[in-house]
Structure 1
Amino acid sequence: MADWQTLADKVRHQTRLSHAEALSLAELSSEHDDELLALAGNLRDAGFRNVVTYSRKVFLPLTHLCRDVCHYCTFAKTPKRIDSPYLSVDQVLDSVREAEKMGCKEALLTLGEKPELRYKAAREALADMGFATTLEYVAHVAKRILDETSLLPHINAGCMTAEEIAMLRPVSASMGIMLESASERLAEKGMPHYGSPDKDPAIRLETLRLAGEARVPFTSGILIGIGETRRERIESLLALRDVHEQHGHLQEIIVQNFRAKPDTKMAQAPEPDLQELLWTIAVCRLIFGSNMSIQAPPNLSPGVLEKIVGAGINDWGGVSPLTPDFVNPEAPWPHLDELSRETAVAGKYLQERLTIYPSYVTRFADWLAPELHEHVLSITDAEGFPRVDSWLTGQHTELPAEDLRWLGADVAEARVSPEIKDILARAMAGEALPEGDVVRLFQSRGPDFSAVIRAADSIRQAVCGERVSYVVNRNINYTNICYFKCQFCAFSKGKLSENLRGKPYDLSAEEIARRCSEAWDRGATEVCMQGGIHPEYTGQTYLDILATVRAATPDMHIHAFSPLEVWQGAATLGLEVETFLKQLKQAGLNTLPGTAAEILDDEVRAIICPDKIDTQQWLGVMEAAHNVGLRSTATIMFGHVDRLEHWARHLLRVRSLQARTGGFTEFVPLPFVASEAPVYLKGKARRGPTFRESVLMHAVARLVFNGLISNIQASWVKLGHNGVEACLNAGVNDVGGTLMNETITRAAGATHGQETSPQQMDALIRAMQREPQQRTTLYQAVSEERQQAARQAGALLDVVNTPAKKYERERGRKKVLVKNAGSELIASS
């Protein structure tokens, strides 16, 4: 055999083992078993960190009839031993709806192999229902599940043709077939697969190959202890690796241990012992490397789950809180609380997944039929795991108890991943983290999540102490007309949007001045002004707005104009951006909001705002602003079509600019509000970030910007007051503005209101045992006169949204026409 130390070194360096090297493991002496298991465990950690997953499912035995006669199986039955050849659609849907109430997200459809080829009862039952084959009925049932419930079907349909796979792909998120063994010897007379034509390894491998060609996320694996040798096991695993390397579609490999069952030909056959199972799991990990999900069913090995984790698995498979394991009815599923505890004893965090694994969810366009895209996106987070609570950005919902538990947990250092401890140490020392480390922080779950939150808050305490600041300000959005077609925006006027967001308006100078004066009288120190990109606005429009505000309120701090508006204004005047910024500053502009950033990665911008300024243009405007002495905020709008690497790149690009200019006063995470956003309504985006992701964005920002940006702000409009309170324990030291009028987020469907008074801000902050501090836009002290005015403010007068006037403007080859008030925006090329 190949030298063991040579093989071990290749594994440590994550180098692929050749066929010959893998096969030599069959001869490995037992004296190396401990080292083998340790290598496998380390390899698993490199790919899956501290997470072990499971799928919360309902097990649906659509038919127990099967034309095969495997000698160890009790699932397959003859027509005389069952009440009905098939479950009815109503029976299936009743079970699925009950499972839905229990939080299940996978509907596992299991059946025997093509029973209609053996049993007249199957053919007649199918004919009565209007189907010619079992798989046609499977497709019908799966579609009903998709159409009428929130669960995703996973279909274990046995051997299939290309046409059958194509029929099932639009109604299932994943499929599977156990190879069991590639050994033809096991199909000989006297062996367990004798008399079972569908257990021919060549036929099963052909199904696997066809599934790969069809781009179906697929499950397979081996069954050990049915008479195969160790070498045959490895040959089976290599056969699976070969087909996976051609197509990349195997999302998990199951290592299942044989359990002897009464009333079968193998009832007295010896079961594989624990060491044999552990050895096989470890060898499987070495063959497939760090990134393949490897599963072992927990109900088949009770009492030794810690050892199974140690051997290199990262998944427990499907676990049902409702139905038994119909394939192994003698082995009940572990209770999920118990499974979580046993996983924690093994040093891992139990995380729910969908039937389709996260790495395939994040590439859904490649791996899922279009019919499934909207369904999957609506129930997943940025990493491809399922949303497991009802929290949504901008809505009045309870904070998730599981996240709050970890948010406040005092986790022992020993439970935190070594990798996370190393990254946190470097971040707290002010080092610039590489992209991979920032992504790793965003992946934190369980004890790692607690550690990240704790580290971020310790920096907050060191930099900001117990003070929590806010500014008394007013938002003024001077027009909701915009010729850009940003797919996340529910504020700007567009075709068919009037009933959702009101009529087109373009504020008059008088109304802008009135709002500024009212804001000053109510104690404001800042007006924050942004709007849609009106086709008739030029750079002079923005200069005129500044003149209006400055005349009405000479001492008001004007925080206005996104980088997009600055870019557009400069372009309309034929000026360089820096020249236009100098004009804006001279006209009274004090600082810029860091909006229009969304995600500073052009892969994302091409989807959500393709006609907007790109990443480098946004950064260029901000650098120019800082160079002329205008400071700004920085934002990120996250939780739509973006992934963790996009978040990391955004933070690092902001950090890099801050290291050069020092011009950012604060960083403001803005969780995506989905409910009225076009990209979500079209089924092309997630429902916003999860609560955990929202908290992490603030904490990771604090860590990434350590030593460069002192202020991390939480948006009460997006998070609600209770969400802000949670973020105050995760590195946040500022709660933004009182706002007076908030329109953009409410237009997107948020319900948290349009103003939080200074008294409410103070109460919120003091409830967290922190010290409230009213501040200016530039984080300076506010005069006593301004504070008194803010606390004595009367009710806001009703705003007047000046109706838009008719206009027509040529923009190159595009003409944009807006009719009189009450009309819609019509764009034509």
Structure 2
Amino acid sequence: MTGERIWAVVPVKPFSLAKRRLASVLGEDERARLARAMFEDVLDALMRVRPLAGIIVVTRDAVAAALARSRGAVILADDVQGINAALGIAVGHLSHEPHATMIVVPSDLPQLTPEHIDDIVGRLPPERAVALVPSNDGGTNLLALRPADAIARCFGPSSFAAHCAAARQAGIAPLVIPSAELGCDIDRPEDLAAFLAFGTCTRTHAFLSQHSLLCPLPLRERAAQDVQQTRMGEGYSFNNTPHPSFFAGTLSSPLPAEVGCFRLRQDSKGPNSGKPEFGWERAREAMFSHADALALADCDDLDHLMQAAARRRDRADGHIVSYSRKVFIPLTKLCRDVCHYCAFAQPPRADEAAYLSRDEVLSIARAGKDAGCKEALFTLGDKPELRYRTARVALDRLGHATTLAYLAEAARAVFDETGLLPHVNPGLLDAGDIATLRKVSVSQGIMLESAAERLCARGGPHFGSPDKHPAARLDTIRLAGEQRVPFTSGILIGIGETRRERIEALLALRDLHDAHGHIQEIIIQNFRPKPGTKMADAAAPSLDELLWTIAVARLIFAPEMNIQAPPNLSPGALRRLVEAGINDWGGVSPVTPDHVNPEAPWPHLQILERATAAAGKRLTERLAIYPAYAREPARWVDPGLRTALLHTIDADGFPRTDDWSPGQGAALPPDAGLVLSRPAIASNELAPIIARAEAGYRLDERDIVRMFQARGNEFSVMCSVADDMRKAMSGDVISYVVTRNINYTNICYFKCQFCAFSKGKMSENLRGRPYNLGLQEIAERAREAWKRGATEVCMQGGIHPDYTGDTYLQICRAVKEAVPEMHVHAFSPLEVHQGAATLGISLDAFFAALKDAGLGTLPGTAAEILDDEVRNVICPDKINTQRWLEVMRAAHHAGFKSTATIMYGHIEGYQHWARHLIHIRALQADTGGFTELVPLPFVHMEAPIYLKGRARRGPTFREAVLMHAVARLALHPLIPNIQTSWVKMGPDGVAHCLQAGANDLGGTLMDETITRSAGAIHGQEMTPAAMEAIIRTLGRTPRQRTTTYATAPAERYQASFQPRHVPGHAAPPVAELARLRTTIG
């Protein structure tokens, strides 16, 4: 490839005119629906093709245009006749890219996959090229042209020959790429059966599967009339729309055994007695009873099982498939069990130590850490000391009586020395063992393998293995649940069990999980025969059997359950595993082999990523402990491990992928610029949410959380959409305000756990001494600010125990008397609440007094996170969510404008961010009083809650930028301005935020103390010249504004660029400090 861009072009005729040759089997509306399904399948496949610069759809069909637009495609109006003329419009659109490659993809090619496009792109020669996929009837089912106008388009009868001739005439040797799949058209009734034979999980397949195509159209139309008079039972609908072919009672001939999304049970009483065994649509929603789950053992409808399973999975984890980057530590291969399929366990050998030494364990762990691993997986045989004297002697030399005691020491050493998070698989455990290992591991596991006791009998694979009795293993899993241990379990298929026995095992695990909520993943592992074992000649289960079991497991458990299948045990079938319902690949090691399956190497992560992307998902790294459990460390993780975990994760419980934190000055992630500039197309899941936001609709919590989960390509989409929305709202102007921060006191008797600014007892004095500015000092600072061109002073402080409402009134008057023209932007809702309370007056009365004293607007600080679940931890004595909103509502009703803020990245999750934005939007819809939202990423370095090990390291860079983008969408169109904080994000960081929805750079500040108290390195002032340099670097136009977003007067603008020095103001000592030690706290 030479770096040119590749575009897919899809010409679409009106759906109502499509597929007329299918009129004998499909009515007009059915043909239109089929055309739409095929078009959506084509779009979905193209959206997963990474090399594409984008998709161009040429159509005059409004529905087709809307579907394409929702997926981020470029829409070109088709105002000409014929496909070739329509393609000419696309070629004209690409004329500004003379080296672009155009791939023409028919809209009725639902069997298309990303691999097809990847294959064609990979085969194209580096210069001018024409590649064709011929159809079975002499046409062209796919055409790639480099450049886009390399030859004239010749679609129509015998187009394959015509395209080849045109290529040769242009001096290009045509590259012919035959494809059994892509060669099939869907134009005639007989084509339908050929398509269904491919068994694809597509909309088209689902649509056709619901029709009894062997039944003549008149009979189906007659059935439709009867349906109008017949109430059909629950479960007989596809996409909630009853279809006439589901009603068998009106047909004179039997329906096929498979009709729609159900399998009908045929018996001797005739076809009309068939009853639906299974409602596939219900499978997406409802939990299966034991009886319903066991009935699945007789279901052979693999396609529908997989579709239902995939849709159930997508309800919870629609966009990602996770994996853990691990290092495999085989502490000992001695084992008291003799499982007939196991090649891991070995008898003692004279030339081999019974256990890895502590140094060997650490050497493996350090190699894993150097390779980017975050998990240390300890796998070992079950209690070998109960069988082998060699093990007992070795343990004695190691200073331990049991293998489990040595495991605890080794896991602790790995954690302490390398920071890797241990996961342990030690076999059967009692309550004491579990408690011991919980102190040194973030998760534990044991495979149930099977619940069939008969497999432990003579001749069974578990005969002679006392630790493999199902009851004992289930008891271990139960005990782990009682002690709140995140736990891994699963089943091994193909060792002699029946399908029903697999389901029984899965139900046993579900019952334990329902009781304790601790099973974080279910592994479906396929048996592989290994040389040297008693089952070396046994047959491995087929791929279909593995897919069936994965799908059934997905349907039995709640959608949120993590279903895993090891990727190294099914090479060549990774995409099918995703289609069957998995959402996790398990641990993949770049350093160590799979010691349990040494014959099966781990797939390279790039291969795993491509296979995951081919299935329409994003590969995402996780930790040994799954995100849902990592987000609740107080419940699931031992106190000795919590701090390390918190410092490792983002707000969604996934591992941090870079070292950046707000305020630290660390380099931005290497791909920070790339993710903002690369072409991106919204996924099917994200596109409708974005469309609703663009239309100005209120998004719900689930929608907003989903936007915060955007990673990779989706992150690029969010930033791009937010930036487009910003441009539509405010053009290319970026505003800023010349202001001075005056923090009049850092003495505060509240104990906010995130705050490094306020000072109380000296024992809590983290940075600097307490101070309390006098009114003369405040007035002088206001005068200095005016000389520097400021239009406002921004004033806030701690809640001093001696402050009353009168103090705040005096502060306002001091500024206005010193500089009458200065705008006073002051007092958080907490200060207003406190001031009114100390004077014994209402909020309305206090706001009236503040207005008379000269207050202009309010900063919407003290909001932190507007959710009391979070506030009860980080600021329990502060005003609660509703009180904050009440103060802001009263301020707006009194005629004050205010900002709104969100302080994020400490202990909260995406659901809390969403609730915060929903509160802000709702109040804005009522009052219209917010001028902007200011995202304030948590600066952790000196924050008490971080130093106590109870908070994360602020948001990740992705989260910090994404907050601006999501806020832009979630608050649209009610709040027009999104500000980015240079103090917290740094100059490079704010530049990215200004390309992701932000349109305001905030204030110059002159004196910034709050963020610097928390450890931020960015300076206390950014001059107007520096601000405008950042803005102009982005190709935008700077505008100096006032507090309320009017353009600053020319005189103020000129004054702000005059080289005047503002003296540094050290915090003065406080004489009453001794008294405060008693008063505060």
Same fold (TM over 0.5): yes
AA of the residue aligned to 1:185: R
Counterpart CA distance in 2 for 1:43 and 1:484 is 47
AA of the residue aligned to 1:804: V
| Residue 479 (structure 1) aligned with residue 762 (structure 2) | no
Counterpart CA distance in 1 for 2:570 and 2:351 is 29
Aligned residue number for residue 598 of structure 2:
329
Contact 1:53 1:314 in 2 (8 A): yes
Aligned-residue offset at 1:77: 1.0
Counterpart CA distance in 2 for 1:105 and 1:81 is 34
Contact 1:325 1:331 in 2 (8 A): yes
| Residue 21 (structure 1) aligned with residue 292 (structure 2) | yes
Question: What do the CA deviations read for 1:117-149 (whole angstroms, capped 9, x no partner)?
Answer: 011111011111111100011111112222222
AA of the residue aligned to 1:489: C
Aligned residue number for residue 96 of structure 1:
365
Paired residues in the alignment total: 810
Aligned-residue offset at 1:651: 0.7
Segments of structure 1 that go 5 or more residues without pairing to the other structure are: 807-817
Aligned residue number for residue 453 of structure 1:
719
| Residue 719 (structure 1) aligned with residue 990 (structure 2) | no
Question: What do the CA deviations read for 1:636-663 (whole angstroms, capped 9, x no partner)?
Answer: 1111111111111111111111111111
| Residue 65 (structure 1) aligned with residue 320 (structure 2) | no
AA of the residue aligned to 1:434: D
Aligned-residue offset at 1:615: 1.1
Which residue among 284, 298, 319 is the counterpart of 2:588?
Answer: 319
Counterpart CA distance in 2 for 1:234 and 1:96 is 37
Alignment of 1:511-530 (within 5 A): 511-530=777-796
Which residue among 1044, 1059, 1080 is the counterpart of 1:793?
Answer: 1059
Counterpart CA distance in 1 for 2:277 and 2:705 is 32
Aligned-residue offset at 1:403: 5.1
Counterpart CA distance in 2 for 1:280 and 1:212 is 25
Classify the secondary structure of the residue corresponding to 2:766.
helix
Aligned residue number for residue 815 of structure 1:
none
Aligned-residue offset at 1:672: 0.6
Identity of aligned residues (%): 61
Aligned-residue offset at 1:692: 1.2
Counterpart CA distance in 2 for 1:497 and 1:473 is 33
| Residue 349 (structure 1) aligned with residue 651 (structure 2) | no
Question: What do the CA deviations read for 1:690-737 (whole angstroms, capped 9, x no partner)?
Answer: 111111211111111112110000001111111111111111000101
Which residue among 397, 400, 424 is the counterpart of 1:155?
Answer: 424
Classify the secondary structure of the residue corresponding to 1:55.
strand
Counterpart CA distance in 2 for 1:259 and 1:494 is 65
AA of the residue aligned to 1:412: I
Classify the secondary structure of the residue corresponding to 2:931.
strand
Counterpart CA distance in 1 for 2:960 and 2:735 is 20
Aligned residue number for residue 452 of structure 2:
183
AA of the residue aligned to 1:193: H
Contact 1:564 1:596 in 2 (8 A): yes
Aligned residue number for residue 819 of structure 1:
1074
Contact 1:523 1:793 in 2 (8 A): no
Contact 1:563 1:618 in 2 (8 A): yes
| Residue 169 (structure 1) aligned with residue 438 (structure 2) | yes
AA of the residue aligned to 1:144: A
RMSD: 1.6
Contact 1:471 1:774 in 2 (8 A): yes
Aligned residue number for residue 735 of structure 2:
469
Classify the secondary structure of the residue corresponding to 1:401.
coil
Counterpart CA distance in 1 for 2:951 and 2:568 is 37
Aligned residue number for residue 863 of structure 2:
597
AA of the residue aligned to 2:983: V
| Residue 621 (structure 1) aligned with residue 876 (structure 2) | no
Counterpart CA distance in 1 for 2:637 and 2:789 is 54
Classify the secondary structure of the residue corresponding to 1:79.
coil
Aligned-residue offset at 1:258: 1.1
Counterpart CA distance in 1 for 2:444 and 2:596 is 17
Classify the secondary structure of the residue corresponding to 2:432.
helix
| Residue 8 (structure 1) aligned with residue 287 (structure 2) | no
| Residue 630 (structure 1) aligned with residue 896 (structure 2) | yes
| Residue 275 (structure 1) aligned with residue 544 (structure 2) | yes
Contact 1:116 1:134 in 2 (8 A): yes
Aligned-residue offset at 1:500: 3.4
Judged with a 3 Å threshold, the aligned counterparts in structure 2 of structure 1 residues 721 and 271 are, in CA distance, closer, same or farther, namely same
Aligned residue number for residue 223 of structure 1:
492
Aligned residue number for residue 430 of structure 1:
696
Judged with a 3 Å threshold, the aligned counterparts in structure 2 of structure 1 residues 711 and 276 are, in CA distance, closer, same or farther, namely same
Aligned residue number for residue 384 of structure 1:
653
Contact 1:597 1:636 in 2 (8 A): yes
| Residue 113 (structure 1) aligned with residue 382 (structure 2) | yes
Aligned residue number for residue 757 of structure 1:
1023
Counterpart CA distance in 2 for 1:109 and 1:82 is 23
Counterpart CA distance in 2 for 1:484 and 1:235 is 56
Aligned-residue offset at 1:499: 6.3
| Residue 695 (structure 1) aligned with residue 695 (structure 2) | no
Kindly indicate whether structure 1 or structure 2 has the higher relative contact order, using CA contacts under 8 Å at least 6 residues apart. 1
Aligned-residue offset at 1:452: 2.1
Contact 2:759 2:765 in 1 (8 A): no
Contact 2:801 2:1080 in 1 (8 A): no
Counterpart CA distance in 1 for 2:528 and 2:675 is 38
Counterpart CA distance in 2 for 1:530 and 1:701 is 25
Counterpart CA distance in 1 for 2:328 and 2:764 is 46
Contact 1:766 1:772 in 2 (8 A): yes
Judged with a 3 Å threshold, the aligned counterparts in structure 2 of structure 1 residues 126 and 671 are, in CA distance, closer, same or farther, namely same
Aligned-residue offset at 1:28: 1.5
Aligned residue number for residue 183 of structure 2:
none
Aligned-residue offset at 1:173: 0.5
Aligned-residue offset at 1:828: 6.3
Aligned residue number for residue 365 of structure 1:
634
| Residue 568 (structure 1) aligned with residue 834 (structure 2) | yes
Counterpart CA distance in 1 for 2:416 and 2:1049 is 60
Aligned-residue offset at 1:225: 1.4
| Residue 79 (structure 1) aligned with residue 348 (structure 2) | yes
Which residue among 552, 565, 568 is the counterpart of 1:299?
Answer: 568
Contact 1:8 1:39 in 2 (8 A): no
Aligned-residue offset at 1:5: 4.3
Question: What do the CA deviations read for 1:148-172 (whole angstroms, capped 9, x no partner)?
Answer: 2211110001011111111111111
Aligned-residue offset at 1:793: 2.8
Judged with a 3 Å threshold, the aligned counterparts in structure 2 of structure 1 residues 499 and 605 are, in CA distance, closer, same or farther, namely closer
Segments of structure 2 that go 5 or more residues without pairing to the other structure are: 1-262, 266-274
Aligned residue number for residue 1032 of structure 2:
766
Aligned residue number for residue 811 of structure 1:
none
AA of the residue aligned to 2:929: G
Judged with a 3 Å threshold, the aligned counterparts in structure 2 of structure 1 residues 763 and 81 are, in CA distance, closer, same or farther, namely farther
Bigger mean CA offset, 738-747 vs 266-275: 266-275
Question: What do the CA deviations read for 1:467-501 (whole angstroms, capped 9, x no partner)?
Answer: 01000111110111111111110001133467631
Counterpart CA distance in 2 for 1:720 and 1:530 is 22
Counterpart CA distance in 1 for 2:1079 and 2:352 is 63
Judged with a 3 Å threshold, the aligned counterparts in structure 2 of structure 1 residues 149 and 381 are, in CA distance, closer, same or farther, namely same
Rg larger for: 2
Aligned residue number for residue 190 of structure 2:
none
Classify the secondary structure of the residue corresponding to 1:645.
helix
Aligned-residue offset at 1:189: 2.2
Which residue among 386, 393, 399 is the counterpart of 2:668?
Answer: 399
Contact 2:564 2:586 in 1 (8 A): yes
AA of the residue aligned to 2:563: I
Classify the secondary structure of the residue corresponding to 1:668.
strand
| Residue 34 (structure 1) aligned with residue 34 (structure 2) | no
Aligned residue number for residue 225 of structure 2:
none
Classify the secondary structure of the residue corresponding to 1:479.
coil
Bigger mean CA offset, 336-345 vs 599-608: 336-345
| Residue 45 (structure 1) aligned with residue 314 (structure 2) | yes
| Residue 501 (structure 1) aligned with residue 764 (structure 2) | no
Aligned residue number for residue 814 of structure 1:
none
Contact 1:11 1:286 in 2 (8 A): no
Which residue among 190, 194, 213 is the counterpart of 2:463?
Answer: 194
Aligned residue number for residue 853 of structure 2:
587
Which residue among 897, 903, 914 is the counterpart of 1:648?
Answer: 914
**TM-score normalized by structure 1?**
0.95
Question: What do the CA deviations read for 1:39-64 (whole angstroms, capped 9, x no partner)?
Answer: 11111111102110001111000001
Counterpart CA distance in 1 for 2:657 and 2:872 is 29
Bigger mean CA offset, 382-391 vs 450-459: 450-459
**TM-score normalized by structure 2?**
0.73
